[in-house]
Structure 1
């Protein structure tokens, strides 16, 4: 397994027209596996979240002590990165998630520019495989005209997740703070539905890529294992949603998860599986390009980005 990182610099179309607009840079992290498999992460930008979105249900005194290890203020806004995974193997060019698009937050939606910087046209994408239906993972599948951005791609989602967001009752049960998530997901999935391929836990979504049901963050959240044995790589999505408290205290419930207790149990199972197999992991909101290793210590786990 070979892992490399490089900085990419690109200008949006608007920036080309106006030299007064800022240029954006991204970091590309690349993993090369045997058999000609190549995995990249590209940045869609970063979210901006209030601290209580994650830390709200956690014990305050203990939380501050743990976050001090990471030089984090438990009351400061969070700015987690958004790492899009891209798999290249033969004629396959598959994205895991599609980013936020332009309708969610101003600090995200950079994936089209990041793809351009990497020399990839959206029409070259053959598959878009969703971990789940939250805005930062799904909304970028459509452009500003509600057309599929990856128009020639096969779009794929776990059956449980798809059915959840398509259910009219979800907007009523999800809670007021996430009602817009439900409305936005249903509208986008209705547009994509005719060409959507659904799959279940354990499915081979592509040759060498196996779906793994990891519920809790959302009801049908999926992770994906690419390859096998010593070279296996797990695309986590948001099943392990940050590089700090989710590792140090995976048993604590997080405000970011729709079913906090189930999500904590899922994290526990994943950490056991990942460490037993010494897997490389890719996390949507993990630092350093999102690719790294899980290290178990005497007091929780740590994430070590591959540099």
Structure 2
């Protein structure tokens, strides 16, 4: 009975408001195909964009140098609006989504991933695996639909063990700080609802064939990135280990207020960028521009530049 009710709810959502919204989506919210090789296809799906007070990220940084970089990238020093890109991987019978976006309850500018997915002819029922980088609202609050049913009813949910344990720990709500308590409450509420479908993994695990987990902590305690190897091509899903295309690349050692452990996150960025450039990996970035796909160029020691495009 519960399954039948959930199907009716999803059918209602898909056949009414979701269709209307998909028809009216601006171009930047539409899905775009970014990579295809020997039967494996990767699409970047837009969930919208965030509206964030800039000082949340920038207050710990050297202000003189910071002003020059912000001006060069034409960034607002009061508010940042990073895009949110999800990775959809289709490889034979597998339809894999990396993160699921913010859903309807975080902020109005995000929560559009489902419409972008539908523009490709992919439905929530088609997703076989959901692989989570970390449990911040813009990455997992879309786990439940408006009726608190799992948005992806047939998906195995895959998450790093350390990240799961951190957000499911009852003490996290009190220890995370007042500004982010809602993050912890929201994560626990959603993860509890899908826990019967969750598979946990550790650093270095082959999560799925061709998909390797890479521990990239700091932004959150158990943040994971994922190395993809298909048809001899190497790509990397970075989540929020590289949280923007400007400061995270040009000054990866600077401390960002958006991170849980500021020092650890900076060390992770340096290590990750070194690997990306050494191995010439294609980046699939959650908050990177022009769909989120690109490459990193090493300019000097600890200095990099992001180039959008395959």
Give the TM-score normalised by structure 1. Answer: 0.91
Asked if structure 2 preserves the Cα contact closer than 8 Å seen for 1:131 and 1:223, the reply is: yes
Rounded to whole Å, the distance in 2 between the matches of 1:229 and 1:123 is 27
Q: Which runs of 4 or more aligned residues in structure 1 lie more than 4 Å from their structure 2 counterparts after TM superposition?
A: 15-18
Question: 201, 205, 208: which is aligned to 1:206?
Answer: 208
Question: 252, 255, 276: which is aligned to 2:254?
Answer: 252
Which has the higher mean CA deviation after the structures are superposed, 222-231 or 60-69? 222-231
Q: Kindly state the Cα deviation for residue 297 of structure 1 after the two structures are TM-superposed.
A: 1.1
Corresponding residue for 2:140?
138
Rounded to whole Å, the distance in 1 between the matches of 2:210 and 2:24 is 40
Which has the higher mean CA deviation after the structures are superposed, 224-233 or 280-289? 224-233
Q: Kindly state the Cα deviation for residue 230 of structure 1 after the two structures are TM-superposed.
A: 6.0
In proportion to residue count, which structure has more helix? 2
Q: Against the structure 1 CA distance between its residues 53 and 149, is the aligned structure 2 distance closer, same or farther, given a 3 Å change threshold? A: same
Asked if structure 2 preserves the Cα contact closer than 8 Å seen for 1:292 and 1:303, the reply is: yes
For residues 51-200 of structure 1, the aligned pairs below 5 Å read: 51-73=54-76, 75-200=77-202
Q: Against the structure 1 CA distance between its residues 282 and 271, is the aligned structure 2 distance closer, same or farther, given a 3 Å change threshold? A: same
Question: 51, 57, 62: which is aligned to 1:48?
Answer: 51
Asked if structure 1 preserves the Cα contact closer than 8 Å seen for 2:141 and 2:186, the reply is: yes
Q: Report how many residues are paired.
A: 294
Which has the higher mean CA deviation after the structures are superposed, 281-290 or 224-233? 224-233
Structure 1 unpaired stretches of 5+: 1-10
Asked if structure 2 preserves the Cα contact closer than 8 Å seen for 1:15 and 1:23, the reply is: no
Secondary structure at the residue paired with 1:232?
strand
Q: Kindly state the Cα deviation for residue 274 of structure 1 after the two structures are TM-superposed.
A: 0.4
Secondary structure at the residue paired with 2:80?
coil
Rounded to whole Å, the distance in 2 between the matches of 1:24 and 1:184 is 29
Q: Kindly state the Cα deviation for residue 60 of structure 1 after the two structures are TM-superposed.
A: 1.1
Q: Against the structure 1 CA distance between its residues 65 and 207, is the aligned structure 2 distance closer, same or farther, given a 3 Å change threshold? A: same
Structure 2 unpaired stretches of 5+: 1-13
Q: Kindly state the Cα deviation for residue 214 of structure 1 after the two structures are TM-superposed.
A: 0.3
Q: Kindly state the Cα deviation for residue 23 of structure 1 after the two structures are TM-superposed.
A: 4.0
Q: Against the structure 1 CA distance between its residues 227 and 246, is the aligned structure 2 distance closer, same or farther, given a 3 Å change threshold? A: same
Rounded to whole Å, the distance in 1 between the matches of 2:113 and 2:19 is 17
Q: Against the structure 1 CA distance between its residues 17 and 128, is the aligned structure 2 distance closer, same or farther, given a 3 Å change threshold? A: closer
Corresponding residue for 1:281?
283
Give the TM-score normalised by structure 2. Answer: 0.90
Rounded to whole Å, the distance in 2 between the matches of 1:90 and 1:50 is 42
Q: Kindly state the Cα deviation for residue 59 of structure 1 after the two structures are TM-superposed.
A: 1.3
C-alpha RMSD over aligned residues = 2.0
Asked if structure 1 preserves the Cα contact closer than 8 Å seen for 2:31 and 2:117, the reply is: no
